[in-house]
Amino acid sequence: MAKRKAGNSATTGYEAELWEMADKLRGSMDAAEYKHVVLGLLFLKYISDAFEERHAEVLAEWDEDAAEDRDEYIAENIFWVPREARWKRLKAEARQPTIGQTVDRAMAAIERDNPALKQVLPRDYARPALDKQRLGGLIDLVGNIRVGDAEARSRDVLGRVYEYFLSRFANAEGKRGGEFYTPRCVVNLLVAMLEPYEGRVYDPCCGSAGMFVQSVEFIRAHANGNGNGGARRGDISIYGQESNYTTWRLAQMNLAIRGIGGQIAHGDSFHDDRHPDLKADFILANPPFNVKDWGGERLREDVRWRYGVPPARNANFAWVQHMVHHLAPGGIAGFVLANGSMSSNQSGEGKIRKNLIEAGLVDCMVALPGQLFYSTQIPACLWFVARRERERERERERDLVHGCPEAWSNAGPNPPRTDG
């Protein structure tokens, strides 16, 4: 049994315990469907907790009329929860055969009164295939934890539970799981290498938004302490796109529970680029490997293929060039690709890679250990690509390394010593 502190605080192991209980209620339902049932309820509980806490504060200070004033919540960046959507109503009706309709109406009411959540929340709890007794049991389970009050938010209780559930659902779904979840260790490495303190951060295939979440966590972790005395504080703008609609909804909820704003669009980044004019300072991504049916034959003359037309039956170098196209001057990108991208010469891929390297765009490549990803057993690597403003400086450094005295005249007042 996992250890817990008083007051329903979540500590190490709590997420696993909660998962085991929720998984028992899944029955024979496919994990791909069940994740939306569970994560939707967790999100609803989160905004309900935050709402109820603020409601009690306003009620204590003012009166019932003030406590039912939507502006009192919006001003504090708290979602407004209408009466028909409040958790106490769901809990009271959890064992009724109509609980599915009750949850759907609650989700619809929240979307109606909170434009930022429009078309984000799942609303299919009334479908016949969803066992209503199991749904009632899940509502009782989620109702016993506090995930949205100030204390829970300060420790990111729901964020940790949400991410843990995403990882377990990804594991349960196997190959399909990689479409919405990148292992945290990979995300952490990418973010640590890029250090996105400020600027525009972009992910053209953002899944459930893990790259953005970790970028914000990185900023918060380094804003104070760690030797910088609080001098470095981040200010980033988030841009993303996701082609799978249900995964796009997961991303929106994942950001909302952490209070992270962003422009996350639904659509195909190749054929319906929703951020066509964006030039990003940082790009982090884990695009699907070796996609064959990406519609490349319809994009042979695309402006993004500056370094060579990518194969019509493999999207790897289409992703690379799409990201290079969206890099701002001085921007840097880190992304995951199949290991074959480092050596393949098929269908012109070798020439594209050569052109990218000769253009000074490729900083480095990092081979990863095997079996890190739920979506594939294919060995993977990380690419780091940079559009540096200081290309001349790097060229001068290379010249100096090779002992080129012509570079010394531009090396400043202290040229390198050559006498050992």
pLDDT in tens, 124-169: 999 998 999 999 999 999 998 888 878 877 777 777 787 788 788 8
Of residues 255 and 378, more confidence is placed in 255
Return the C-alpha torsion angle 232, 234, 235, 239, nearest 10.
150
For the cut 80, the answer to whether the pLDDT of residue 241 exceeds it is yes
Of the candidates 134, 133, 161, 137, the residue with the CA atom closest to the CA atom of residue 147: 161
Q: Check residue 299 and give left, alpha or beta (phi > 0: left; psi -120 to 50: alpha).
A: alpha
| Average pLDDT of the segment spanning 177-206 | 85
Spatial distance between the Cα atoms of 283 and 348, rounded to a whole number of angstroms: 25
Domains of the chain: 14-172 (1.20.1260.30), 180-394 (3.40.50.150)
Amino acid at 38: V
Spatial distance between the Cα atoms of 55 and 80, rounded to a whole number of angstroms: 10
- The per-residue DSSP string of 14-34 comes to HHHHHHHHHHHTTTT--HHHH
Percent of the chain with pLDDT over 90: 53
- The per-residue DSSP string of 265-332 comes to EES-TTTS-S-TT--EEEEEE-PPTT-S-S-GGG-TT-TT-TT-PPPTT--HHHHHHHHHHTEEEEEE
pLDDT in tens, 315-374: 999 999 999 999 999 999 999 999 999 999 999 999 999 999 999 999 999 999 877 765
For the cut 50, the answer to whether the pLDDT of residue 35 exceeds it is yes
The continuous run of DSSP H or E covering 194 comes out as helix 184-194
Mean pLDDT in the chain? 83
Half-sphere exposure of 7 (CA within 13 A, CB side): 6
Lowest average pLDDT, out of 46-60, 188-202, 379-393, goes to 379-393
Of the candidates 249, 305, 308, the residue with the CA atom closest to the CA atom of residue 124: 249
